[in-house]
Amino acid sequence: MRYIMIGLILIFSIVVSAESLAPDFSLRDLDGALFNLEENLGDKLVLIDFWATWCSPCMRYLPKLHEIQELFIEELLLVTISIDRPRNHSDVRRVIRSQNYDFITLLDPNGEVQRQYNVRTVPHTFLIDREGRIVYDHSGYRQGDEEALVAKIRALLNNGESE
């Protein structure tokens, strides 16, 4: 029994530490430029949000994310990743451009990054610290969820570390 417990603790600690690092990825943005996560770590916190045009909570959350980006413009890089199918990429462009969102919007046409991050529902938000660790992981959106995210960002910026 003791060996089973030790084994389970060891397995759990490996899984937790493996999940705490943000998987690196490269995806194309709406203009076809390649974005690589690892190349953008270090200077700012990175906020990644997976979303889709057919997701009504996503459509309510995007303006809140834009406000958060404006609030922390010097300290935060906002990256949104659309999981829409390639045939809907024109809808993604329309949504982003019609609202004049200026955050980075990436396309994940094959769902590869969605699988890397184990995203099963959208919206799904991750906050990554300057060392590349996932320090916030939230699925779904209800009005007010953005307040917890803002509090987490402020805590990281004030403490200079993950909590």
pLDDT tens column, 109-134: 999 999 999 999 999 999 999 999 99
Position 3 in a domain: no
How far is residue 158's CA from residue 123's CA, in Å, rounded to a whole number?
27
Q: Give the CA distances from residue 81 to residues 9, 28, 148, 162, in Å, rounded to whole numbers and listed in that order.
A: 34, 10, 21, 24
Quick one: pLDDT at residue 161?
52
Above 70 in pLDDT, residue 7?
Answer: no
Beta bridge partners of 136: 127
Please give the DSSP secondary-structure letter assigned to residue 38: G
How far is residue 140's CA from residue 89's CA, in Å, rounded to a whole number?
22
Quick one: pLDDT at residue 15?
42
- Answer for the pair 83, 51: CB distance below 8 angstroms, yes or no: yes
Above 80 in pLDDT, residue 22?
Answer: yes
How far is residue 60's CA from residue 20's CA, in Å, rounded to a whole number?
28
Please give the DSSP secondary-structure letter assigned to residue 41: -
Position 9 in a domain: no
Above 90 in pLDDT, residue 95?
Answer: yes
Position 1 in a domain: no
Above 90 in pLDDT, residue 151?
Answer: yes
Position 154 in a domain: yes
CATH of the domain at 93: 3.40.30.10
Quick one: pLDDT at residue 131?
94
Percent of the chain with pLDDT over 90: 83
Q: 131 vs 2, which has greater pLDDT?
A: 131
Return the amino acid letter for 19: E
Quick one: pLDDT at residue 129?
96
Q: How many domains does the chain have?
A: 1
What is the model's pTM? 0.85
47-78 pLDDT, tens digit per residue, is 999 999 999 999 999 999 999 999 999 999 99
Position 8 in a domain: no
Question: Residue 5 — pLDDT band, cuts 50, 70, 90?
Answer: very low
Range of the domain at 119: 23-159
Position 128 in a domain: yes
| CA count, 13 A, side-chain hemisphere, 18 | 9
